Amino acid sequence: MIRPRSRARRLGAAALLLFAVGSVQADEVYLYLLPDGSRMLTDHAVHEPGYRLLRSSGTVKGMGRLAAGGAPRGGLDPRHLNRMIADIAQRNGVDAALVKAVIRVESRFDPYATSNKGASGLMQLMPATAERYGVDDLYDPRANIEAGVRYLKYLLDKYRHHPQNALAAYNAGEQAVATYDGIPPYRETMEYVRKVLHYRALYARQ
């Protein structure tokens, strides 16, 4: 249990660090969960055992609440998330069950998921994809899903609505699919496509 004074000191330190990082206009801001449960905000990547990257962003927007520990560690309310997925999928002409399946495999519905390759949020967008679709905050659930669905729609159109190739490109990149004229023989990608299609069929029955 954190004593009130100790927690107050940590929140004050986080606020000061947030102000300092914001004032120097850092190119990237990183938030880490430390082994003792505290959180560290910094303007450079840290590679230390036990340090878990919670968020990296080109803006300090929303970092104060996260640094103070106010953001949920788990996923969103399932009903709210389902409504959001259905709305965005319908507007973009993409199967909602497929979108939900991609989110399940990519992040397990954790809006703050961050991979060691730099993919972030519910649909694990890479920074270049986020920039392509005008997303400033990769950890904003609606913005993340919106960009992810638009990218998925682009891939489905490109591969004539063959979900296997579209999903392979989502996971391994369009160049890999072009090189092998289909799903590349990567174990991770083949397993990824299999899992997404499995969950798509499951969610379609719900």
Catalytic residue among 48, 106, 188, 191: 106
Beta strands 39-42 and 52-57 are: unpaired
* C-alpha atoms less than 13 angstroms from C-alpha of 205 in its C-beta half-sphere: 5
In the residue annotation, 106 being an active-site residue is answered as yes
Task: Give the 3-state secondary structure of 33-94.
Answer: ECCCCCEEEECCCCCCCCCEEEEEECCCCCHHHHHCCCCCCCCCCHHHHHHHHHHHHHHHCC
Residue with tokens 């579209």: 166
Rounded-to-integer distance, Cα 82 and Cα 199, Å: 14
Rounded-to-integer distance, Cα 39 and Cα 75, Å: 19
Tokens (6 digits) for 72: 């949920």
Cβ distance 99 to 88 under 8 Å?
A: yes
Which residue numbers are catalytic?
Answer: 106
